[in-house]
Chains A and B, each alone.
Chain A
Amino acid sequence: MSLTTDLSQAKSRANERAKSRAKSGLGNTRAREASPSPRRRNRKRRERLFQWLFLVPAVTYMALFFGYPVVKNIVMSFQDYTTATFFTGEAPWVGLANYAKVLSSSLFSTSLVNTALFTLGSILGQFVIGLALAIFFQRKFPLNGILRSLLLLPWLLPLIVSSAVWRWILDKDSGALNRFLGELHIVNTGVPWLTSTSLALIAVVGVNIWIGIPFNLTILYGGLQEIPDELYEAGSLDGATGWKAFRHITWPMLRPVVSVVLVLGVVYTLKVLDIILGLTNGGPANSTQTIATQSYDLSFHEFKFGEGAALGNVLVVISLVFAVLYLRASRRSVDE
């Protein structure tokens, strides 16, 4: 629909321009004489039009599938949006009431702290282990390729499957992890990985690290491949090997890739939902409740869609802060 309207608008615009040219009479002919060739100019204009036309699907897609939900979510957060709204279409405006309720709830600070710990812990673990593995796989050794593709497995599994399997592994009484630790005599009673308020968040972060390693490994490995070998050769002549080579060659050369990995990682981790729901449902006693899970609960379990949307927007704002930081950082690196 919007494609045809854009087209007709463009056509009418072109027509108007042609008309105004015809109206201005004499001056116009002079202008026409001055320009290299009217036919070529026309063709150029048509080309420009076609170029814009190719953008229409992308713009439409963005507006429909990214713009609409974001705007809708913002609007919704200022409304008393209930199950009845779906049937009647009526959602009274309530101003900032949803935000006030969500931000003043005793759960918000818990969720905020958990979100921060979850994101920070996950990113740190994923990145350090991912980078270590990426450097490890730079060496040439047999089975290198096979091992690297095996490490992609966590990425290939649906999150809901991963979380279900990890829930078994981490079970206090019959979980594989406790059995293993028990055999090694590291522990003698079952460790309540998912049911202790002090361990659950650590366990959930651990699983999320496991899931995030392949992403970090793949991107960082790609970045490492880009660094020319000559640099290391030259460096080794100057005595830069091992840790020194990493500090003075690898790390600076890898920085643009690192910033991409970290920012994508942060935004991606902030909104993690399935893993937490699958492992602990936010429990025990809200110790793994994050802003994402709380927003989901509010909307889809308690049917408080307005409050859920308000909390969702809080999360969007937090993500935006990181996105802006990333844009500024990348601009600076280009300027340099």
Chain B
Amino acid sequence: MKSAISTRRPLALAVAALVGLPLAISGCGTTASASSTDAVKEISVTDYYNNEPDKSFIGDALTACGTKAGVTIKRETVPGKSLISKVLQQSSSKTLPDVLMLDNPDLQQIAATGALAPLSDFNISTADFAPGVLSAGTYKDKVYGLAPTVNTIALFYNKDILAKAGVTPPTTWDELKAAATKLTSGEQYGLAFNANPTYEGTWQFLPVMWSNGGDEKNIDTPETAQALQLWTDLVKDGSVSSSALNWTQADVKDQFMAGKAAMMVNGPWQIPALDKKTTLQYGVVKIPVRDASQTAVAPLGGEVWTVPQTGNKAHQAKAAEVVACMNSDENQLAMAKVRNTIPSKTSLAAKFATDNPKLATFTDLIKTARARTGELGEGWPAQATKIYTAIQTALTGKASPADALKQAQGQ
């Protein structure tokens, strides 16, 4: 192990020379003046909300929380795709920000490195948070991250198209298949979802898999095979375009908005775009379950705020204050409203649902929503890869759903 460290030394030296000097100077300043938290003037924050309106809105909330904690915020927003590589670079050069936002399935990877501080160190209350939200932020029994608001996916349907065809929103798989077939004609498909070979494809498949009792620990089960059979049937009989194999969630939304799909699987973050098209009347229901007696289990989405191990106790304490403030009741409600997401505290969610009927379905789903990393922790990415591989194999007809899952699980 020692030799492994020594191979890193040249880079470490170079980085230290470039980065260490100004750090050392500023570091001296803070420790010399006092060890009390009053000395902290500024804390750094990194997140990936780099698009409007999220960018300004989250920025304003951070600034307000900073003011409350008596510090100014130095914020950096990076593109979503480059956040993890940035965090890894920062952790090897020991330049992690004081407050770090992470997409919830990534939290496990970063917590496993030891780069994050458990929030219990700072007495941040985790009471009343929805169980799924807490499990998304928990690594080895300790909470490392809290999400102010969360989201999930459901079934959007075009009210006009369904009314014209005399179809009511489906609640079971059989109804879904029948509705999708009936709504398919000419250039219009009955349903659109995303089954592309990325984690997005896996995420969109989870509701049918989980609601039917499938489990990510072992995907070679009849329950998961049934779920994959549903997806396969829908593509095979033409009620879902085979382009789903290559679409992103944004593509799915475009198809739905253009009237080329009567229903779609998607999340509430698409609502602002959908609302821009005033002629589009849409409703949202839970993704159908196989048997009416089953409960819909949705996957939990959303970003958690964390406090990295920067080694500066005073900075960390202030950072924790900001994280707590970002998760305050007031901020949860405000963020949920502006960002079309759901407050993660159950008591707030109930109130929010009555005030925002458009999001009622999502609010309802969050109560039982499951975190992707809840069972496997840092083992999730490998298993998520297997799931989308199996989906692609079955949907292209290279193997039956059961065989595709068996192959993927054995890989």
A and B are partners in one complex rather than unrelated chains: yes
Set of chain B residues within 8 Å of A106, measured between Cβ atoms: 407, 411
Instruction: Give which listed residue, B113, B378, B393, contacts A86 with CB less than 8 A.
Output: B113
Tell me whether A301 and B199 are in contact in the complex, defined as CB-CB below 8 angstroms, given that A87-B91, A173-B243, A284-B392 are known contacts.
yes
Tell me whether A90 and B246 are in contact in the complex, defined as CB-CB below 8 angstroms, given that A83-B112, A172-B241 are known contacts.
no
Distance between Cα atoms of A304 and B109 in the complex (Å): 11
Distance between Cα atoms of A82 and B379 in the complex (Å): 12
Other than the given A87-B91, A172-B243, A284-B395, 8 more pairs (CB < 8 A) read A75-B7, A79-B4, A173-B243, A195-B243, A285-B197, A286-B392, A300-B85, A303-B381
Tell me whether A84 and B245 are in contact in the complex, defined as CB-CB below 8 angstroms, given that A281-B197, A283-B197, A302-B381 are known contacts.
no
Set of chain A residues within 8 Å of B378, measured between Cβ atoms: 83
Distance between Cα atoms of A251 and B162 in the complex (Å): 65
Q: Which positions 2-49 of chain A face chain B at CB distance < 8 Å?
A: none
Q: Which positions 241-294 of chain A face chain B at CB distance < 8 Å?
A: 280-287
Q: Is A174 an interface residue (CB 8 A)?
A: yes
Instruction: Give which listed residue, B12, B242, B381, contacts A192 with CB less than 8 A.
Output: B242
Instruction: Give which listed residue, A174, A283, A301, contacts B392 with CB less than 8 A.
Output: A283
The contact sample of 26 A-B pairs, CB cut-off 8 A, is: A68-B11, A79-B4, A83-B109, A83-B112, A83-B113, A84-B114, A87-B113, A87-B114, A87-B115, A90-B1, A93-B4, A105-B411, A106-B411, A167-B246, A172-B241, A173-B241, A174-B258, A195-B244, A197-B398, A280-B246, A283-B197, A284-B197, A284-B245, A285-B392, A285-B393, A285-B396
**Closest CB pairs A-B (n = 7):** A283-B197, A87-B113, A285-B392, A84-B113, A195-B245, A87-B91, A86-B92
Distance between Cα atoms of A106 and B187 in the complex (Å): 38
Distance between Cα atoms of A212 and B299 in the complex (Å): 42
Tell me whether A302 and B382 are in contact in the complex, defined as CB-CB below 8 angstroms, given that A90-B5, A281-B197 are known contacts.
yes
Residues in A lying within 8 Å of B, measured CB to CB: 68, 72, 75, 79, 82-93, 105-107, 167, 171-174, 192, 194-197, 280-287, 297, 300-304
Q: Are A285 and B389 in contact (CB under 8 A)?
A: yes
Set of chain B residues within 8 Å of A285, measured between Cβ atoms: 197, 389, 392-393, 395-396, 398
* Dominant SS among interface residues on chain A: loop
Q: Which positions 221-273 of chain B face chain A at CB distance < 8 Å?
A: 241-246, 258, 260
Q: How distant is B112 from chain A, measured CB to nearest CB, in Å?
A: 6
Set of chain B residues within 8 Å of A75, measured between Cβ atoms: 7
**Residue of B with least CB distance to A282:** B197
Most buried by B among A85, A89, A282, A287: A89
Q: How distant is A319 from chain B, measured CB to nearest CB, in Å?
A: 24
